[in-house]
Every structure is written in structure tokens, then in C-alpha cells.
């Protein structure tokens, strides 16, 4: 069966410090991968998605970047964190069933507090 893991689960970082959140998927190949952020207001915002190695699409301009160095690895990064980067970050993968529609499954999430 497929599983998705992301880490670290929780981190507190000072303003201006770098960030690296990692996500890996097991049990599937060539998945679509996503990074979402959930700010304090509960809404979920799509940040990045990737349909393959090295292919990254950004949904909103921001202080963050994403990379996909391997088929099942998706990394969210920042060179210098801002206070506004605080939030709950969720990685997700997409189960591709083109005839009946696709389902997106989420990882456990990472709580980021920028201080």
C-alpha cells in the first residue's frame, strides 16, 4: 500500500533562518505531489505541485520554493524565513485513476513557527 511521510513534524525557527521540509511517498511511482499550507484561519492554500522530477509549478508568489530531486521526494525550502511563513504545511500525493477521477492523500503535516 502507499504511504506518505513528511518531516519534521514540528519546528520552531528564527526569522531569517533557512527551512527544509521533506516529504516522501512509498508504494507508487510517478505520483503528482503537492505542498499545501494551512494558516491560522484554517484555510488550505496550494503552494506548489509537481507532475515529475524537476517539474515544479508555483501557485502563489512567496518566500518559499520547492524541489523534486527524486520521483517520490518533494522538498519545501526557504532561504530566509519570515514571520508570515508560520503555519501548518501539508504534503500530498495524488492517486491517478484517470477514468474515475483522482484522489489526493495527505501526509501528517509539519507545524512551523517562525519566531
Cell matching residue 18? 533557512
Buried b (16+ CB within 10 A) or exposed e, 9-32: eebebeeeeebebebbbeebeebb
88 binds another protein (CB under 8 A): yes
User: Binding to another protein by residue 102, rule CB under 8 A?
Assistant: yes
For the chain, the distance separating the N- and C-terminal CA atoms, rounded to the nearest angstrom, is 38
Cell numbers given for 115 = 519566531
Nearest approach, Cβ of residue 103 and another protein (Å): 5
* Binds another protein by CB under 8 A, chosen from 21, 33, 34, 114: 34
The size of the interface with another protein (CB under 8 A), counted in residues, is 24
What is the nearest approach in angstroms of another protein to the Cβ of residue 37?
11
Dist. CA 106–CA 82, nearest whole Å:
25
Q: Which residues bind another protein (CB under 8 A)?
A: 32, 34, 41-44, 46, 49, 59, 88, 90, 92, 94, 100-109, 111
Amino acid at each position: 500500500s502507499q504511504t506518505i511521510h513528511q518531516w519534521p513534524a514540528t519546528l520552531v525557527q528564527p526569522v531569517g533562518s533557512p527551512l527544509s521540509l521533506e516529504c516522501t511517498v512509498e508504494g507508487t511511482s510517478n505520483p503528482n505531489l503537492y505542498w499545501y499550507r494551512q494558516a491560522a484561519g484554517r484555510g488550505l492554500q496550494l503552494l506548489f505541485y509537481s507532475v515529475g522530477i524537476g517539474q515544479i509549478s508555483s501557485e502563489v508568489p512567496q518566500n518559499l520554493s520547492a524541489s523534486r530531486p527524486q520521483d517520490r521526494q518533494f522538498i519545501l525550502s526557504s532561504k530566509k524565513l519570515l514571520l508570515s511563513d508560520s503555519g501548518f504545511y501539508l504534503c500530498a500525493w495524488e492517486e491517478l485513476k484517470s477514468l474515475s477521477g483522482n484522489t489526493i492523500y495527505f501526509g501528517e503535516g509539519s507545524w512551523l513557527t517562525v519566531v
